[in-house]
Amino acid sequence: ELKVEQNPLFLSMQEGKNYTIYCNYSTTSDRLYWYRQDPGKSLESLFVLLSNGAVKQEGRLMASLDTKARLSTLHITAAVHDLSATYFCAVGVSGTYKYIFGTGTRLKVLA
């Protein structure tokens, strides 16, 4: 059974600081996604990672994938208040259309 664990679950950080959110998954997968959810809103796609060593960057966020370690990271550089949200990783179950989501990391950036 594919399990996806994110840590930390909660993260409070000062503006201008760097931090990393981790997403570990338990079995082989051919695709990994990161989403953002603002309070009371739906999920918005951030990154799609499909191969070992894949790295994607958008603004202050950078996502990477290590399929051998079954680990993806979402790195935040010089955080700003607008990045406050809940971030989810989702892993595709190989051979199916299914996705398993992590429990989410609630990020709060303090001014």
Partner 1 sequence: DVKVTQSSRYLVKRTGEKVFLECVQDMDHENMFWYRQDPGLGLRLIYFSYDVKMKEKGDIPEGYSVSREKKERFSLILESASTNQTSMYLCASSYPGPGYEQYFGPGTRLTVT
* Mask for 54-73, x = binds partner 1 (CB under 8 A): --------------------
42 binds partner 1 (CB under 8 A): yes
Residue type, 35: Y
Cβ 43 to partner 1 shortest distance, Å? 4
Find the part of the chain contacting partner 1 (CB under 8 A) among 18-26, 61-69, 70-78, 85-93.
85-93
Cβ 72 to partner 1 shortest distance, Å? 14
The tokens of 22 are what?
């981790």
Q: Please, are residues 94 and 29 in contact by the beta-carbon 8 Å criterion? A: yes
- For the chain, where are the E strands, in sequence order? 4-7, 10-14, 19-25, 32-37, 43-49, 55-58, 61-66, 71-76, 85-92, 99-101, 105-110
Task: Give the residues lining the site for partner 1 (CB under 8 A).
Answer: 30-31, 33, 35, 41-45, 48, 50, 88, 90, 92, 97-104
